[in-house]
Structure 1
């Protein structure tokens, strides 16, 4: 087993080849385009590019407020973003890479609509480095700086709609060699690599700002799994792929001497003229045909236990704009009657050990689907599984396209080669991030945080916020609690993420400055008031709750009665009332005390005074 990673990180600020912001929203304008494949520098057409030609899709682009003529491919790219270039150099240095003498950008042909130009600009910044892990060093093959693709809005049949808001955002891609030994090691390696980029001040830090691709092989060809959205899904995705390929190996062995074939598709629409199947009835009314084909010797292999050959065929059908694929291992299902099923099997000439597949589509699309299914079956029989797959939201994978190769590359002629001089490299020394172990040591040593708190801040991309705010809020444990627990709990209660103004009111302008967003606002924040008034955890969390849930204005919180800390005399008075009316002991004291006051107090002080009174 061989495993490698390609991890992509977005940077904030300006886009890579224009001065547009990385933050924007869709506006009403749009345009459509068809993309024409071209040959690469070697004079050949890449297999993935040729596959897109067969799909023959139309692309609509929604213009965003942060898009200009560069994103629309109506204007040449501007000079490369200097901050992004220096960040990629700093990451290269942190991962022990050799920084290139020149940054030379190439065009990578991409005609799936994700780039209006039909290619993606990418340049190698560093090579031949490594990242340390407890299971040994994992070699880093390349670190590249490239422009991110469009954001997909919707996909239906042969049409795809994209937004330009993400197109052109600076993207650092870190690729490893296949040195990773198991799924747990892959997760660990991704976490260690991710720390370096997430430590940078210009890491974008939004929901979709990190994407992981996994390169995986069990000896049957390299499979590139695109778009693993969450770090925790890396392990799940690899384990799913192990199970999938193991199953396909068993299927290949079962069929080795049987020479299975997929027969020609036959039109069986007429047998469903009076069908009760809602799905089939709807398809026929929309002008589609019901087509079936026999798959010899594949009975009980389409979907039976660990065998899911039908899923392999269905993925190919979906990529052709066909909603899916039905097969005999599922029948009777979909509202198909026994009489319809009997006619279906008769027309398809199904024998006992055969399977039958059924699709709902137009005949032209099915004629294009047939050779792709033949190719799919042939590759499974030969166990030639190299391809590109997409990671799903539940940790599985599905077929996306053939594996792209070097034929899709050719030189970029619009961007001058940039020399990475010693002076340029030296200018990045101050921003080179520390390793994960060093950062945890700094947080535990300098601020007294536990290793659990430290790792949580890092893994949740809160390190920059913590370091900015701790300069004026001198309670590291309480700050960590607010960032890791209080704010997420409040977001759950109000049912949404806090906006930039709310985060600034809670955490101060330091948050805005390190996050790169937010509007000019108050010079104070709840944390700054807490520092001034000496609020403890309860008072601070109550203030946050009053602000977010009860809409108490920020300028009123400083002198809000409920937030004033009880002094010793007030605490003694309340304890006296409790002792007269309640059966109280040290274990239930704080719980009862809270019922007698809305004001804030120090629980340790209450317990101390209670003990003094009892004496």
Structure 2
């Protein structure tokens, strides 16, 4: 088993080839486009490109507030963004890579609509590095700087809708050699690489800012699994692929002497003229036909226990817009009657050990399906499984397209070579992030944090934010608690992640100062932590203020006047305690609970406990 990773990290600031911001939102304006394949530098059309041509889809692009003529492919690219280049060079230094003398951007042909131009610009920055892991060094094959693709919004009826807001965002891709030994090691490696990029102040840090591709092989060809969205999904995805390929190997071995074949599709629409199946009835009413084909010798291999040959076929059908397929191993289902099944099986000449597949769609679309299914079955029988698959949120994988090759590359003529000069490397030297072990020691020594706090700040992608804010506050522990505990607890209560405005209000700095999203009227932002510092609020008061702001939706500039945030003074605490003692049995164990029930105002629990003991001693 061999495993390698390709990890993509978004950077913020400006887009890679224009001055548009990396942050924006969709507008109502849009345009449509059809993309056609071209030959690569080797004079051939790539297999993956040919496959997309068969799908024959139209693309609708939603223009965003952070897009310009470069994104619409009406204007040539500008010079590559210097900040993004410096970041890629700094990461190259941290991962011990050999930096190239020049960066030459190439065009990588993509006609799935994810780029309006039909290609993606990418440039190799460095090669031949390494990252340390507990199982030894994992080699870094290359670090590239490229433009991110469009964000897919929807796909329906052969029309794919994209947003231009993500197109052109600087993307650092870090690729490893296949030195990873198992799923756990893959997670460790991704985490180790991620530390260096996430330590950079211009790492974008949004929900979708990291995407991980897994290259996997069990000896049956390389499978590239695209779009593993979370670190924890890497292990699930690899384990699923091990199970899937092991199952296909069993199927291949069991069927090797039987030579299964997929017959021609036969129109059986007439069989369902009076069907009770709502799905089939609806399809026929919309003008679709019902066709079926025999798959010889494959009964109980389509869907039985660990065997799921039907899913392999369904993915192919779904990719050309047919919405999947049905098969005999799951019948009776979908409201199909025994009489309809009998007529169907008779029409195709099904024998006991045969399977039958059923597809709903136009005859022209189904005609495209037959050769693709034949190719799929051939590859499974020969165990030639090299292909590109997509990761699902459940940790499974689905067939996406054939594996792309070198035929899709050709030189970019609109972007000049970028020379990596000695002065540029000298500027980058101070930017190189430190290894995680050194950073933990630095945080513990400089801010007197525990190693657990320091490691949590790093692992939760809070390092840049913490370092940008900690100098403004006298209590590094309080800031660590707010970031690691208070805000996550509040997010659980409100059932969502905080947005940029809320984070800016809470953390007390405009996002421009911590390399996050610029906000309007930054100079007027009154932050909760800023108020806390001004009024000498303790931890409990500040956390109560956070709760009022997030749960009760009280504007930040109104918090200072809230009665419950007015801290009780010593005399007020004494009066409340005397009243409590006269009314009920108060002990140190129930003191704080009863005190909270007695007042809405904020107070410092240690002060209350100290005064209570003094009153009790005097008594």
Tell me if both proteins adopt one fold, taking TM over 0.5 as the criterion: yes
Does residue 1:485 correspond to 2:485, yes or no?
A: yes
CA contact (8 A) 1:469 1:510 kept: no
Q: Name the SS for the 2:329 alignment partner.
A: coil
Q: Name the SS for the 1:24 alignment partner.
A: coil
Residue aligning to 2:218: 218
CA contact (8 A) 1:316 1:373 kept: yes
Q: Please identify, of 583-592 and 170-179, the stretch whose mean Cα deviation from structure 2 is larger.
A: 583-592
CA RMSD across the alignment: 1.6
Q: Please identify, of 18-27 and 279-288, the stretch whose mean Cα deviation from structure 2 is larger.
A: 18-27
Does residue 1:370 correspond to 2:370, yes or no?
A: yes
Residue aligning to 1:538: 540
Residue aligning to 2:178: 178
Shift of 1:597: 1.4
Q: Name the SS for the 2:454 alignment partner.
A: helix
Shift of 1:46: 1.0
Does residue 1:34 correspond to 2:34, yes or no?
A: yes
Residue aligning to 2:361: 361
Q: Please identify, of 194-203 and 560-569, the stretch whose mean Cα deviation from structure 2 is larger.
A: 560-569
State the TM-score, normalized to the length of structure 1: 0.97
**1-structure distance, mates of 2:520, 2:495:** 23
**Alpha-carbon distance change, 163 to 551 in structure 1, aligned in 2, over 3 angstroms:** closer
* Structure 2: gaps spanning 5 or more residues: none
Q: What does the per-residue CA deviation read over 1:185-220, in whole Å, with 9 as the maximum and x for residues that have no partner? A: 111111111111111111111111110000001111
Matches within 5 A, 1:159-238: 159-238=159-238
**Alpha-carbon distance change, 70 to 242 in structure 1, aligned in 2, over 3 angstroms:** same
**2-structure distance, mates of 1:326, 1:489:** 46
Matches within 5 A, 1:202-351: 202-351=202-351
Residue aligning to 2:527: 525
CA contact (8 A) 1:103 1:123 kept: yes
**2-structure distance, mates of 1:524, 1:64:** 30
**2-structure distance, mates of 1:301, 1:551:** 57
CA contact (8 A) 2:510 2:519 kept: no
Does residue 1:436 correspond to 2:436, yes or no?
A: yes
Residue aligning to 2:578: 576
**2-structure distance, mates of 1:510, 1:218:** 50
CA contact (8 A) 1:157 1:320 kept: no
**Alpha-carbon distance change, 451 to 358 in structure 1, aligned in 2, over 3 angstroms:** farther
**2-structure distance, mates of 1:450, 1:318:** 52
Shift of 1:608: 2.8
**Alpha-carbon distance change, 15 to 512 in structure 1, aligned in 2, over 3 angstroms:** closer
Does residue 1:122 correspond to 2:122, yes or no?
A: yes
Residue aligning to 1:587: 589
**1-structure distance, mates of 2:444, 2:240:** 37
Matches within 5 A, 1:73-152: 73-152=73-152
CA contact (8 A) 2:23 2:517 kept: no
Q: Name the SS for the 1:471 alignment partner.
A: helix
**2-structure distance, mates of 1:290, 1:455:** 58
Shift of 1:455: 3.1
CA contact (8 A) 1:128 1:140 kept: yes
**Alpha-carbon distance change, 337 to 98 in structure 1, aligned in 2, over 3 angstroms:** same
State the TM-score, normalized to the length of structure 2: 0.96
Does residue 1:598 correspond to 2:608, yes or no?
A: no
CA contact (8 A) 2:99 2:126 kept: yes
Q: Please identify, of 399-408 and 430-439, the stretch whose mean Cα deviation from structure 2 is larger.
A: 430-439
Shift of 1:280: 0.4
**2-structure distance, mates of 1:429, 1:584:** 62
**2-structure distance, mates of 1:194, 1:435:** 11
**Alpha-carbon distance change, 593 to 327 in structure 1, aligned in 2, over 3 angstroms:** same
Q: Please identify, of 477-486 and 270-279, the stretch whose mean Cα deviation from structure 2 is larger.
A: 477-486
Shift of 1:345: 1.1
Q: Name the SS for the 1:431 alignment partner.
A: coil
CA contact (8 A) 1:152 1:162 kept: yes
Q: What does the per-residue CA deviation read over 1:437-478, in whole Å, with 9 as the maximum and x for residues that have no partner? A: 222222233223333333332233222221111111222232
Shift of 1:510: 5.0
Q: What does the per-residue CA deviation read over 1:505-525, in whole Å, with 9 as the maximum and x for residues that have no partner? A: 221125442114222242642
Shift of 1:504: 2.3
Q: Please identify, of 68-77 and 170-179, the stretch whose mean Cα deviation from structure 2 is larger.
A: 68-77
Q: What does the per-residue CA deviation read over 1:90-142, in whole Å, with 9 as the maximum and x for residues that have no partner? A: 11111100110000001111111111111111000010001111221111000
Residue aligning to 2:408: 408
Q: What does the per-residue CA deviation read over 1:75-101, in whole Å, with 9 as the maximum and x for residues that have no partner? A: 111111111111111111111001100
Shift of 1:497: 4.2
Residue aligning to 1:58: 58
**1-structure distance, mates of 2:465, 2:245:** 43
Shift of 1:575: 2.3
**2-structure distance, mates of 1:53, 1:555:** 57
